[in-house]
């Protein structure tokens, strides 16, 4: 863990290293999945925001529904991160995994996943 709270799993998910994500989850799944950085960002948020669908799939195999609904310090969820960055396949996969994935939830600025996607030209 670095000084900003980034774990190996967070780095692997952010960079799309699916095999690393897989190996780290095999080693200590509970601790790895629960890890967040100092901004409250989870590995699932990292992978979803960058459109790393294979990492999202790997994480969803190990993530309880509570982690899908986890929020960062700004109130953002994995679904929001995926939608805001135009990662439609990740949005689809998150909703398939958890159909009640807070599609109407808003972050601290009042943006829903759809509003953020539209604002960024991804709707």
Sequence spans of domains, the chain:
8-119
What is the model's pTM?
A: 0.90
DSSP letters for 21-40 = HHHHHHH-HHHHHH-B-TT-
Query: What integer pLDDT is reported at residue 116 of this predicted model?
Result: 81
Contact 117, 87 (CB under 8 A): no
Query: What integer pLDDT is reported at residue 48 of this predicted model?
Result: 96
Interatomic CA distance for residues 8 and 14, integer angstroms:
10
User: What is the gyration radius of the CA atoms in the chain, in angstroms?
Assistant: 13
The CATH code belonging to domain 8-119 is 1.25.40.20
Query: What integer pLDDT is reported at residue 65 of this predicted model?
Result: 63
Low-confidence ranges of the chain (pLDDT < 50): none
Query: What integer pLDDT is reported at residue 113 of this predicted model?
Result: 87
């Amino acid at each position: 863990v670095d000084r900003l709270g980034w774990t190996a799993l967070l780095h692997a998910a952010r960079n799309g290293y699916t095999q690393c994500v897989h190996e780290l989850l095999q080693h200590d799944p509970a601790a790895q999945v629960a890890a967040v950085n100092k901004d409250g960002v989870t590995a699932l948020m990292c992978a979803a925001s960058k459109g790393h669908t294979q990492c999202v799939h790997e994480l969803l195999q190990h993530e309880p529904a509570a982690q899908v609904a986890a929020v960062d310090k700004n109130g953002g969820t994995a679904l929001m991160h995926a939608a805001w960055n135009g990662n439609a396949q990740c949005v689809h996969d998150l909703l398939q995994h958890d159909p009640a994935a807070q599609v109407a939830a808003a972050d601290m600025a009042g943006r829903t996943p759809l509003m953020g996607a539209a604002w960024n030209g991804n709707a």
